A and B are shown apart, each in its own frame.
Chain A
Amino acid sequence: MKRHLLSAADLSLDDATLILDTALEMAAVSDRTVKKLPTLRGRTVVNLFFEDSTRTKTSFELAAKRLSADVINFAAKGSSVSKGETLKDTALTLEAMGTDAVVIRHSWSGAPVNLARIIRGSVVNAGDGTHEHPTQALLDAYTMRQRLGRIEGLKVTIVGDILHSRVARSNVLLLKTLGADVTLVAPPTLLPTGVDAWPAEVSYDLDSVLPKSDVVMMLRVQRERMGAAYFPSVREYSRRYGLDVDRAAQLQDHTIVMHPGPMVRGMEIASEVADGLRSTIQDQVTNGVAVRMAVLYLLLGGSESAIGSVEQ
């Protein structure tokens, strides 16, 4: 049986809780002077990034190195991949070199699933197209628990381009498993057809949802969407769906504001809010390393039933 993390839906409540608990232990390591565990010594982790992402790649690289794994960064740009080599051949090459885990970022939804069918090692989805980004959801959950002490029963509002967001998909699935109540807020054009079947509420009206929220997660909205008529202008988007200072003032005292980054200050979130006390944006980055350490540890070295697996 192969063991992968392809979707947040792969995780049971026990799996997710174990990852978050393990991440807490990993975080303690990061506070030491020598930030390193010998756990994955002699194991090889490949960062296979078909899409640019400095922050996620660095986070995974740091996580693997803190566990003493050998890390290879295999950037698709400038490699044989850009010369027409297929995902299959790349995978077979990595397999032939003997890799224990492949962390894959790809612009096509489902590419990690395709990869997991080919290679024997573990596959970790580091973001595939507009599908999922499960470790982002895990680090978000970790951050919520850290700040608010629990996840079950929290009212989490996710705002922005839900249609194209892998972060939203993974968060909806994981937060459902963890018992939070999710509300998605976006202009109707940026919600997928079929969203009614998701385990989440949907609203077009940010102002009515904000005062009830324990967590507000703002998503980046790409300016390109404007050209495709998803919304008329950045200004109008901002006015209706941006978390500005006035809106932030409507939040409850304990409510936190999250953003997976990279953010567009002044569009979906005002600078004052992004840098304010409610903001967990820096914590999310910090926690990302610990959560990814936990994921790699549990996939490669940890207890057998720690993380859901894909039957072949």
Chain B
Amino acid sequence: MSWLLKDVLLYGEGSPTDVVLRDGVIAEIGTGLSGDETIDGAGCVLLPGLVDLHTHLREPGREDAETVETGTRAAAVGGFTAVHAMANTNPVADTAGVVEQVWRLGQEAGHCDVFPVGAVTVGLEGKEMAELGTMADSAARVRVFSDDGKCVSDASLMRRALEYVKAFDGVIAQHAQEPRLTDGAQMNEGINSSLLGLTGWPAVAEEAIIARDCLLTAHVGGRLHVCHVSTAGSVELIRWAKSKGWDVTAEVTPHHLLLTDDACCGYDPTFKVNPPLRTQADVDAVREGLADGTIDAVATDHAPHALEDKETEWGAAAMGMIGLETALSVVAQTMVEPGRLTWRQVAERMSEAPARIGRLDGHGRPLAVGEPANVVLVDPTARWVVDPAQTTSRSRNTPFAGHELPVRIRATFLRGTPTAVEGKPA
């Protein structure tokens, strides 16, 4: 079966072109081509399939909130062909057995490739290093290691982890949060937290760890990836580290590109997330950082939660929000429409860079003949209103409910097979 994507704009550039996907690869690019099935792509942009560095699929352990099956379906609907599944499952993905299970569930589901992230420390407890090499050598071929949700706060342990994973070209993805500065923290520390009487999560708690980790990375010649950068100071530190030539990369979430801590003022736990929503100055800074390449990638931090974990008092509620199905739309709204990024640069920030950071072979590849047919076709002119009742994810905790956002995903292809068409799983 071959697919003809007719009159599409590669990276949103040039003149309308036909693309034929056949036998798992981009078989032809040209005009007047034909295929078994045709999608009229007039006015639509063709991008390499999106790659998420930061997804919580919740399986094993919280299958009531999400499973590999439901989470990867949501990913496909959102235009992703690969996701990195975070390690904070139950049991924790800190052994070859668990990462192989998650990897295999992803293969069986078939909606997008799942690359498990291995825990840095046993049980995410920040005490003993997990068997990183065994996970790297497993069928899951782990390259990204993270205690996400928790910070590897012990400086010595962080140093050793950065050093150790050099042996297999791994990267430590740090959730930068100084634990002593964030004891009981509920939201960004600032004017709003002072008025709401909620314990503050100060920007310095993120920035202090990033500064330390950049220095450690330089010292050992390791590779650091900073998860979900949320403050202006963090952007500045990463810009500085990059100017030194150190191997530091960073990601920002769609919600930190769009929302501020003003959203917390009604105590709706939908907006409770870690790191927290910050101020407009921080939002401006992460947008600028993403535009100038200081921040390499957009990552969703898709964090599904069961209704009962969110429908509660703010302080008792779980942290996190879903984001796979809205990520590209939010990036379009905050970055493309205001002219901060071209579609070509979106392909870099949402596909090529994350694939490079995760050392993925078949993703984030050029739109060229012979390359794997992992692509997404988007309609940049369409607009839609986010309705939590309509999510493909098993969970409903989107912070964008009621937002009218640009861009609809027309179709997502994984190795030439459609995984989502017109907003629905294929």
Q: Does B14 contact A (CB under 8 A)?
A: no
- Chain A interface size, under 10 / 10 to 19 / 20 to 34 / 35 or more: 20 to 34
Measured in the bound complex, the distance between the Cα atoms of B198 and A107 in whole Å is: 11
Digit string of A5-32 for contact with B (CB within 8 Å is 1, else 0)? 0000000000000000000000000000
Contact of B267 among A109, A130, A195 (CB under 8 A): A109
> Would you call A194 and B191 a contact (CB within 8 A)?
yes
Q: Which of A107, A110, A166, A192 has the most CB of B within 10 A?
A: A110
Measured in the bound complex, the distance between the Cα atoms of B313 and A110 in whole Å is: 7
Q: Does A61 contact B (CB under 8 A)?
A: no
Contact of A114 among B197, B200, B314 (CB under 8 A): B314
Measured in the bound complex, the distance between the Cα atoms of B197 and A109 in whole Å is: 6
Measured in the bound complex, the distance between the Cα atoms of B307 and A88 in whole Å is: 12
CB distance from B269 to the nearest CB of A (A): 8
Closest to B311 in A: A88
CB distance from B230 to the nearest CB of A (A): 16
Q: Does A197 contact B (CB under 8 A)?
A: yes
Q: Does B192 contact A (CB under 8 A)?
A: yes
> Would you call B315 and A193 a contact (CB within 8 A)?
no
> Would you call B200 and A109 a contact (CB within 8 A)?
no
Could you tell me which residues of chain A, from 100 to 126, have a CB within 8 Å of some CB in chain B?
A: 106-111, 113-114
* Interfacial chain B residues near A87, Cβ < 8 Å: 312-313
* Interfacial chain A residues near B198, Cβ < 8 Å: 109-110, 129-131
Q: Does A132 contact B (CB under 8 A)?
A: yes
> Would you call B189 and A194 a contact (CB within 8 A)?
yes
> Would you call A131 and B193 a contact (CB within 8 A)?
no
Q: Does B406 contact A (CB under 8 A)?
A: no
Could you tell me which residues of chain A, from 115 to 172, have a CB within 8 Å of some CB in chain B?
A: 128-132, 166, 169
> Would you call A195 and B197 a contact (CB within 8 A)?
no
CB distance from B199 to the nearest CB of A (A): 8
* Interfacial chain B residues near A86, Cβ < 8 Å: 308, 311-312
* Interfacial chain A residues near B316, Cβ < 8 Å: 108
Contact of A169 among B189, B190, B197, B202 (CB under 8 A): B197
* Interfacial chain A residues near B312, Cβ < 8 Å: 86-88, 114
**With A129-B198, A193-B202 already in contact, 14 other A-B pairs whose C-beta atoms are closer than 8 Å:** A86-B308, A87-B312, A106-B313, A109-B197, A110-B196, A110-B197, A110-B314, A129-B197, A130-B197, A131-B196, A131-B198, A166-B197, A192-B200, A194-B195
**Residues of A at under 8 Å CB distance from B?**
86-88, 106-111, 113-114, 128-132, 166, 169, 192-195, 197-198
Q: Which 6 A-B pairs have the closest CB atoms?
A: A110-B267, A131-B197, A194-B194, A192-B194, A130-B197, A108-B315
6 contacts between A and B (CB under 8 A): A86-B308, A87-B312, A106-B313, A114-B313, A132-B197, A194-B195
**Residues of B at under 8 Å CB distance from A?**
186, 189-200, 202, 266-267, 308, 311-316
